[in-house]
Structure 1
């Protein structure tokens, strides 16, 4: 293979261009809140976009309060699920023990649009409350433009 001056110039332009990574959420059932805080702060600080293209439940929904809403969009497959925070069941003998302070912490991250939806739907409980694609979801997160 012969390397020409033009191919070197093209390669240097591509290498110098900033890489843009998007976070695609397709099937995220949540996990440890502190891990999600770190993950989404890194996404925010890098200026990445977030495309919710499926299930985003529990701690996954922290994305709505950490990444700027202008950087988040939803596809027709998107859904959000909210519930009270609870302690790791490994330490509570398999019993779901809710955490008032953990729930308060979660709520402190959510934008008002999320808090309003949660309030209108009976507040956070141990049961998952879901928002599926449609008007309620679009009041919180904009639909993704076609180019995303």
Structure 2
């Protein structure tokens, strides 16, 4: 799940809600290497940070659902999750579906996400989107926060 560096730029905004508990806002994250996201979200979990999904969270970004407790995740009306099979580059420089990484990724997701994916054929090279009523049926809606966000 690699993307060119320019595409990797996801926008995470940090809003302070206290010194020991912060909120990370995912607004436009197109994903990247799986290991990077696992490490990033494990760190957020250890720091007891909550996550607001407020826009696109694609590819490896969706690992947030596997790492952060569902009670610590909320979604806005703009939240849009994009899922697909894991891929990598072969020796010839062409991409290929990495079946082992895809199985690992799928196994990490909570059961409701796995069931949703199963109804759509699982994780395949084709991207499927979870948003709107279906997403709001799985994760709580964020309460509006009038405080300005700082860029992280």
Q: Do Structure 1 and Structure 2 share a fold, with TM-score over 0.5?
A: yes
1:122 positional shift: 1.6
Q: Deviations over 1:33-67 (max 9, x none)?
A: 00100000000011101000000000000000101
State the SS of the aligned residue for 1:22: strand
Could you say which residue in structure 1 is the equivalent of 2:139? 141
Root mean square deviation of aligned Cα: 1.6
Question: Which structure 2 residue ranges, 5 or more long, are not aligned?
Answer: 1-17, 147-152
Q: Deviations over 1:12-35 (max 9, x none)?
A: xxxxx6343211100000000001
State the SS of the aligned residue for 1:24: strand
State the SS of the aligned residue for 1:126: coil
**Are 1:113 and 1:139, in contact at CA under 8 Å, matched by a contact in 2?**
no
Give the whole-Å Cα distance in 2 for the aligned partners of 1:93 and 1:60: 27
* Mean Cα deviation higher: 138-147 or 24-33: 138-147
- Structure holding more strand per residue: 2
TM-score scaled by length of structure 2: 0.79
Question: Which structure 1 residue ranges, 5 or more long, are not aligned?
Answer: 1-16
**1:87-102 correspondence to structure 2 within 5 Å:** 87=88, 89=89, 91-102=90-101
Give the whole-Å Cα distance in 1 for the aligned partners of 2:99 and 2:28: 27
Could you say which residue in structure 1 is the equivalent of 2:69? 68
**Are 2:20 and 2:48, in contact at CA under 8 Å, matched by a contact in 1?**
no
**1:38-57 correspondence to structure 2 within 5 Å:** 38-57=39-58
Could you say which residue in structure 2 is the equivalent of 1:6? none
Task: Label 1:79 to 1:92 Cα distance change in 2 as closer, same or farther (>3 A).
Answer: farther
- Structure holding more helix per residue: 1
Task: Label 1:71 to 1:34 Cα distance change in 2 as closer, same or farther (>3 A).
Answer: same
1:108 positional shift: 1.4
Larger radius of gyration: 1
TM-score scaled by length of structure 1: 0.81
